[in-house]
Structures are given as C-alpha cells and as structure tokens.
Structure 1
Amino acid sequence: MTDQPYDPRYQGYDPYQQQPQQQQPPQQPQQQPQQQWPGQQGYDDPHAAQQYTQQWQGQTWETQVHQPVAPADTAYLPPQTPPPHGAYGNEPQPWQQAPMAPAPPPAPEPPATDASAATYGPATVAGNARITDAQRARLEGRSPIIDPGMRPAALTALLGVLLSATAAAGSYALLIPLIALQGVTAAGWFRLNGMWPARQGIALAFLGALVADVALLTAGRENGPAAILGTLGVWVLLSLVLQLRSHADPDERMYGLMASVASAALAIIATGYLAADPEAVTVGAAAAAVAILARALPLPTPASLIVSLLAAAGAGIAVGGLTDYGPKGALLGAAAAACALIGHRVAAYDYPSRFVHFTAGVALPLATAAPVVWVLGRALA
C-alpha cells in the first residue's frame, strides 16, 4: 500500500479476466435532447468523467439535437454494457469501434389520389383491377335493371333501318344485315349469361343461323316454317350431344346447354325476316327501330313504354302507307315494337356490362321482333 492516489491508468488490463456481470440497463429510446457516448454512463465522479473525456482519441458523436424518431423506425442495436469502474486500456472496446448508424429517414407518405382513383381496386402484383359500372351498381345495392342507353339504341335503329330498306331490294340484299344481326345475337346472349369466352357456343349458334338462312333460300319463302323449325331441332340435338361430351360439372354442363340452345334459337328465329313478306319486314323493322329510340329517351319507365308503342304505331302507319298494308301497318308496327321492347328489357337485366349493351342490347330487340313480323305479316296480307 502506498500513499499515492489511485490512478486507473497504472492497472493492467486483462481481457480474459472474469468481471462481475452487471445488470443490463434498459435500452432507452433516442428521445434525449443530447446524445452521450456509452462509457460516460459508468462514472459517478465528475472529475474522472472529465479526465476520461479529455483523453478520448476516437470519433465522437454529434452533439446536435435531432428530431426524435419512433422506436419502430430506428435500426436495431445490441444492448450496450458500460465498462466496470476503474478498467481502462488503450484497446478500443467493441462498442467503440464504430459510431452508431444514423436512423433511416421515415418512409414518405403516399401521394394523395384524385376522385378518379376510386374506380380502381387495391394495388396487387397483377395490377389494378378496374371496377365496371355493373360491379359498382351491385356494390351500391342499386336495381339490377340497367337500360342500354341511347348509343346502343341508335345502333339498333340503324340496323333496323337497313333491314327495312334492303327487304324491298330482295332476299339476297336482306341477307347482309341479317347475318350481322344473327352474329351479334349469338355473342350477346352468351355474354348476357356471364359465359365468356364461349367461342364454341357462339360459333355453334351462328353456324345454325347460317344453315337456316341457306335452307330457307334453297327451299323458298313458302317453305320457311319447315326450314327454320327443322334447323332449330337439329341444333338443339347437336348442342345436347356436345354438352354430354363435356368434362365439366353437371350443373355447369346444364347451364351451358341452356345457354347454347337459347342462343341458337334466337339466332335461327331471326331468319324469320327472310321467310316473312318483304313489305311486312319493311314496316315491322322500321317500327321496331323507332320504338327503341323512343324507349331510350329520359322518361319514366311507364311513360317511356307508352311513348314507344305510340311512336311505333305511327311509324307503322307512315311506312304502311308506302306499301299495301296501309292503316293495318299500325297494328303490325305496334306488335313488332312490343316484342322489341321485351328484348330490350332482357338485355338490361342483371347488371349488364357495356359489352352486353352493345351486343345483346343492339340485337335482341330486332331478333325477338322477327317471329311476329313473320306470323302477323302473313295474317294481315
């Protein structure tokens, strides 16, 4: 023992010396106004702390006050234990080898989106899925009846005018808009039933319509019922055989069978324009076109139906005056308009999409009017 004061620098440092394990202080979040280096926490003597600080030769931390950050956004640091009192050496400690890494900047907030972004779904690896008008109406609980609107009605009127004009020119001229009507009918019915893509069913229905056209042109207008009904029977049997060979579930096969038969039936029944009297086609197609245009006007549904029927009857009288039907054209026009409105209503059912409006909404009014033009035209003639 000497009378000299104790100086920790003269004591040797043994890195393998067993030191008593001290209790690990809890890690404090970085919310203090000024940072301190780790070794400063283990000294109670202010003079010793000052001396220890003056002999420090390594890189010190910044004393600038930083904006406190949340603990979840900072980097993870291992627990730090200060050295025991009196242990000092020139060899740097593990916590003294590198300064603390600065905390990463907080992630920026996503930019604000405009009102049009509400039409898109959440972000996925496959992209944003657009919400259709039908899906939005279903989510909002609105009525499942959505009318096609003015633009599909204008296309229906154009196709009806073509049927009315070409009927007077002959059967082969009438065949051009008729084939277009049959193809759009086959595609629109499958899409209306939610079955898409259905290339085989559409091709089968359209092929049946073409076979019926050829059979009627070959057999003649007087044998029209046999040509149309015979083709329809064969195509129902063919659709049944194809669905029986399918490996789908029984419920799905039944649903596909009904859609195939209905699509083929509508496309084949449209051949009635070829079997009907040409003057009846002229009156009936024109009246159906006027009725669909009137139905698209922004009126209440009951008023719109009445206006459509009255407009079709007036068109039947006007066009019938150019033919041998005369005033009887009003009855033919009103009957054709009633069937066209039924087809228009069917195309508006069960939240239809825009594609349905421009296929089934265009073709079904004229396709459903073909049988009454055929039957009532022969009766009034």
Structure 2
Amino acid sequence: MSEPYQSGPYDPYDPHRQAGAAGPWQGYDQQAPPGHDPQLTQQWQGQTWETQSHPQTPAAPETAYLPPRDNPYQAQQQHFADPYAQPQAQPYAQPHAPQPRTAQPYAQPQPQPEPATAPGHGPGAGPGPEAAPDYGPATLVGNARITDAQRARLEGRSPVIEPGMQPALLTAVLGLLLAVTAPAAPYALVVPLVLLQAVTAAGWFRLNGMWPARQGIALAFAGALTADVAVLAAGRDHAPAAILGPLGAWVLLSLVLQLRSHASPDERMYGLMATVASTALSVLATGYLGAGPHAVSVGAAAVAVAVLARALPLPTPVSVVVSLLAAAGAGIAVGGMTGLGAKGALLGGAAAACALIGHRVASYDYPSRFVHFTAGVALPLSAAAPVVWVLGRALG
C-alpha cells in the first residue's frame, strides 16, 4: 500500500507546502482556472485507503434507473402471455408510479348489442325483471311461443289429446276388413292383418319418440311376418306354439342387436324396451289368424263400433260407457249372424275394453298427428287380438 498522508494542523500560508500535493483534490489544483490562487484553496490532508484492494462494483446502466416506456403493443403481449409464468425480478428497478395502460392503436370499439326484450317488458313497461316472466300466461287465443301441451298444463287441462274421428274411421274400416275376410279364407285375412302389423310397428316407435327407427320397425315387422307364416304352415290348432315361438326368438334377437349397439347404456335399454314391445304387439296381432273365423268377425266388429263411439264429443266417463255398451250390442248382432249368439256380447265387450286401453295409450302425453294416424289406428285392434284369440277358443 502507498504511504498514508501525514496528518497535522492546517496552515494555508505554510511556505514548505508544495502546490499540487497528492491528495483528493490534486486534479483540481492542476487544472485551476485562470485568476485562481491555489494557495488560497483549502486542501484536505488525512489518512486514506487504497482503492485497488477492494472490488469495484460496476455502475448500473443509465437506462436501468429510467421508468419503463409505454409500449403500444405491451397490452397485446401481456394478453397472450403465459398465465402460469413466474414474474421475473428486474435488477436495479426503482419503484415508480404506475403508468396508465394505453389502448391498442388499431383497436376499434365494438358496439354492444342491446338485450332483446319481450313485448311489454322494456324500460318503463312496469315492474322490474323479477316480476316479468319469460312467457305470459296461457290464453284462449293461443301463444305462438309455447306448445299446445304446455298451454293445456298452464290452463289446468290435461295434455292428453285423443286421436279423434278420422283415426277412428280408419280403425273402423280396418276392423270391418278383418271381420269380412275372416270367414272367407285364412289367406284373405292375411292382407288386412299384414297392414295392421306394419302400422303397429311404426306407430309404437313413433309413440315412444324414436323416429326414424328403421331397424327396430323392420325387426318388429319381420317377426310379425314370421309368426303369420308359422301359423299358416302349422294350422290354427297349433297357433299358440306358432305364435309364441317366433315371439321368443325375436325378443332374443332384439337383445343381441342392442348389446352390439355402440350407443350409451340408457339409450340401449330404451331401444331394447321399445323394440321388444313393438315386436310383441305386432306378433300378438297374429292372434286374429289363429282364432276362429266367427270370433274374429265378432271381435273386430265390436272394436270398430267401440272406437267410433269413443270418438263422439262426449265426456270421457260417458263416452267409455257408451263405447262398451255399443260393442256389446255389436257382438250380439254379429254373434247372431255367425252362430255365437249371446256369447258374442261377452266377446265384444272384452275386445272393446282392450281396444279402449290401446286407444288411451295412443293418446298419451299429447302425441303428434302422425302418432294418431298410426298408433291411434292400430293399437285398439292389436290390443284386442289376444282376447279374441283366447275367448274365441274358449267360447267355441
């Protein structure tokens, strides 16, 4: 280390003191401006230290102490930055007042769409949004924003709508065709029977909300045709085995096909139940082919009369009673012509009761017009087929 400076009393007029002695003000004395007396300048003498023995800290760049400048694209870069990135500490950054973020230079303000308000619910239309329902109360003139079933529920009425007179007329025509062709020949009865089975299969799937369901409809209809062929081949005496055999085989086939489906478990179960029920109804309609000709004539005629009476504009309890009485009368009338006599009243009344159940099923939960002209036409006759088959064999 260099020799330290000698400390002592300060005397500015010391003649032995040399100008420009080493010290912290040496450079200043050597570069004194004109007219300045270095003798009159105060000098500092004292102990100092060697600066070369200590590490020198580099000076921070000048720009590190400046506040960050506003970048017009900074907001856009921060918008697309990684949300999980850790913020990096900036060295030598001094706290400064937050700068307001500037908008993007090319961003145009987007107009906000006004919320759509229903008629009569705008500003100044009355009470606040809590008291304003989305839809008004049901009225007799109709509301285009709700269905007829919803309007019926709001008005306290039943959403079940019956098929009406036109489907009832089609049911009556199909029933009369069965009644007329049954005594003629079994092959003549097959024609209206096949039509009945096709409409039953399609109507049941549409009644369950499954449309189009071509595979299920084709499967149920194929099972019905198989049962028809089996009965024609085995004869009416072996009709029970000829009907129940294809029914069991088609239920097993439906189960296998649904297990191979790639749908969700709930959809597969729903499709399985609809396919089995449609197949059962279509196959059981073959009971008209296995029953006696006179029983088919009485039962089909009773169903036709009962459905027509049920379509009359009467209260439901009165309409049901009138339908049963009319069916019993038709059974007696047709039974007198076929040899069954008074037994036809029992057969006609039982067939009419099953037909009314099928009629009610076709009216379930406000069905569509297509359901009325398929299930509404076929279900009364298909539901009455097992009763006609059993009671026809029991009565003679």
Length-normalised TM-score, structure 2: 0.63
Q: Distance in 1 between matches of 2:253 and 2:158?
A: 37
The percentage of counterpart residues that share the same residue type is: 79
- Deviation track 1:313-360 (CA, whole Å, cap 9, x = no partner) reads 000011111011011111110011001001001111111111111100
Is 2:387 aligned against 1:372? yes
Task: Answer yes or no: is the 8 Å Cα contact 1:283–1:319 preserved in 2.
Answer: yes
1:339 and 2:349 are equivalent in the alignment: no
CA 1:135–1:171: 2 relative to 1, 3 Å: farther
- Aligned twin of 1:235: 250
Report the number of matched residues: 259
Judged with a 3 Å threshold, the aligned counterparts in structure 2 of structure 1 residues 238 and 273 are, in CA distance, closer, same or farther, namely same
Q: Secondary structure at the match of 2:338?
A: coil
Q: Distance in 2 between matches of 1:257 and 1:246?
A: 10
Cα distance in 1, alignment partners of residues 249 and 393 from structure 2: 26
User: Which one of the candidate residues 289, 305, 310 is aligned to 2:304?
Assistant: 289
Distance across 2 between alignment mates of 1:309 and 1:301: 12
Shift of 1:144: 3.1
**Structure 2: which 5+ runs fail to align?**
1-138
2:365 counterpart letter in structure 1: D
1:193-342 map, 5 Å: 193-342=208-357
State how far apart, in whole Å, the 2-side matches of 1:144 and 1:245 are: 37
8 Å contact 2:347–2:392 — kept in the other structure?
Answer: yes
- Once residues 290 and 267 of structure 1 are traced to their aligned partners in structure 2, the CA distance between those partners, rounded to angstroms, is 22
Per the alignment, residue 155 of structure 1 pairs with 170
Q: What's the offset of the Cα at 1:139?
A: 6.7
Question: CA distance change for structure 1 residues 348 and 221 in 2, over 3 Å: closer, same or farther?
Answer: same
1:287 and 1:333 in contact (8 A); partners too: yes
Distance 1:226 1:141, change over 3 A: same
After superposition, the Cα gap between the structure-2 partners of 1:140 and 1:184, relative to the gap in structure 1 and judged at 3 Å, is farther
**Does the alignment pair 1:180 with 2:195?**
yes
d(CA) in 2 for partners of 1:162, 1:219: 24
| Aligned-residue CA RMSD (Å) | 2.0
User: Residue 161 of structure 2 is aligned with which of 146, 155, 166?
Assistant: 146
Measured in 1, the distance between the counterparts of 2:214 and 2:153 equals: 27
Distance in 1, matches of 2:285 and 2:293, equals 14
C-alpha change, 1:134 and 1:205, in structure 2 (3 Å) is: farther
Which structure would you say has the larger Rg? 2
For the residue of structure 1 that corresponds to 2:337, the secondary structure is coil
Read off the aligned partner of 2:220 and give its amino acid letter.
A
User: In the TM superposition, what whole-angstrom CA distance separates every residue of 1:83-114 from its partner, at most 9, and x where no partner exists?
Assistant: xxxxxxxxxxxxxxxxxxxxxxxxxxxxxxxx
Higher relative contact order (CA 8 A, sep 6+): 1
Q: Which amino acid is the alignment partner of residue 236 of structure 1?
A: V
Q: Work out the CA distance in 1 between the residues paired with 2:395 and 2:338.
A: 12
Distance 1:183 1:139 in 2: 37
Residue 142 of structure 1, CA deviation: 3.7
Letter in structure 1 aligned against 2:392: G
- The C-alpha deviation readout for 1:138-158, integer Å capped at 9, x for no partner, is 676641321111111111001
Q: Conserved in 1, the CA contact under 8 Å of 2:202 and 2:374?
A: yes
- Aligned mates of 2:153, 2:261 — CA distance in 1: 32
- Separation (CA, whole Å) in 1 of partners of 2:351 and 2:299: 6
- Take 1:200 and 1:216, find their aligned partners in 2: how far apart are those partners? 24
Distance 1:215 1:377 in 2: 20
Deviation at 1:137, TM superposition (A): 4.2
Contact 1:133 1:353 in 2 (8 A): no
Displacement of 1:175 in angstroms is 0.4
Distance 1:163 1:119, change over 3 A: farther
Q: Which has the higher helix share?
A: 1
The reply to whether residue 358 of structure 1 matches residue 340 of structure 2 is: no
Amino acid at match of 2:218: A
Structure 1 segments (4+ residues) deviating >4 Å: 117-121, 131-141
TM-score for both structures, normalised by structure 1: 0.65
User: Does the residue aligned with 1:321 lie in a helix, a strand or coil?
Assistant: helix
Give CA-to-partner distance per residue, 1:144-195, whole Å, 9 cap, x none.
3211111111110010000000001111000000000000000000011111
**1:254: Cα distance to partner?**
0.3
CA gap 1:256/1:371 in 2 versus in 1, 3 angstroms: same
- 1-structure distance, mates of 2:188, 2:272: 33
CA contact (8 A) 1:137 1:351 kept: no
Q: What amino acid maps onto 2:188 in structure 1?
A: A
Please tell me the residue identity of whatever aligns with 2:209: G
